[in-house]
Amino acid sequence: MDIFYTKDHEWVKVEGRSGVMGISAYAVKQLGDITYVELPEAGKEITKGVVVCTVESVKAASDIYAPVAAKITEVNSALESAPEKMNASPEEEGWIAKLEISDPDASKGLMTAAQYDEFVKSLG
């Protein structure tokens, strides 16, 4: 399974046409303690770059964008009562949605883990 990142700090793990998405460790660190996640609905079709859901921290509400075009097949409902999982494990237990990816060339325009590390470093 390969992992890719957007400039808005979402990640997507891709294996063939199935995917999982969430937000990066850098993003949750910037947000601070996450207190609420407005999950998307399973079955919803999303296009790349649209708002998928909203994550609220003690500081602010932030929109989360679709890293790829896909259909949402499952959402991480554990986050409803335990949004802090996103802080504790942003790239594993804190996943937001499972996806059925529409575009066979989905990773195009996304960063690899190494590229994303460089990108985050450049943000200081």
Partner 1 sequence: MKLTPLYGEHKKLLARFAPFGGWYMPISYEGILAEHKAARESAAVFDICHMGEFVFRGDAAELDSAVTRNVSSLPAGKSRYGFLLNDKGGIIDDLIIFRTGEEEFMIVVNAATAENDYEVLKKRLMSIESQPLSLSLPISHESQPLSPSLTDISAETAKIDLQGPLSRDVLKETLGIDTALKYFNFAHFEILGEKAMISRTGYTGELGYEIFINSSKAVELWSKLLSDGRVKAAGLGARDILRLEMGYSLYGHDIDENTTPAEAGLDMFVDYDKDFAGKKALLSRKAAGAAKKKVAFKSEGRRSPRAHYRILSGGKDIGEVTSGVFSPSLSCGIGLGFVEASLPVISDIMISDGGRVELKAKITDAPFLKETSLRN
**Site for partner 1, rule CB under 8 A:** 32-33, 35-36, 38, 54, 56, 58-59, 61, 83-84, 87
Contact between residue 22 and residue 96 where contact means Cβ atoms under 8 Å apart: yes
Rounded least distance, CB 33 to partner 1, Å:
4
54 vs 73, beta carbon nearer partner 1: 54
Identity of the amino acid at 30: Q
17 vs 61, beta carbon nearer partner 1: 61
Cβ-based neighbours of 117, under 8 Å, separated by 6 or more: none
42 vs 61, beta carbon nearer partner 1: 61
**Given the structure tokens 């997507």, which residue do they identify?**
12
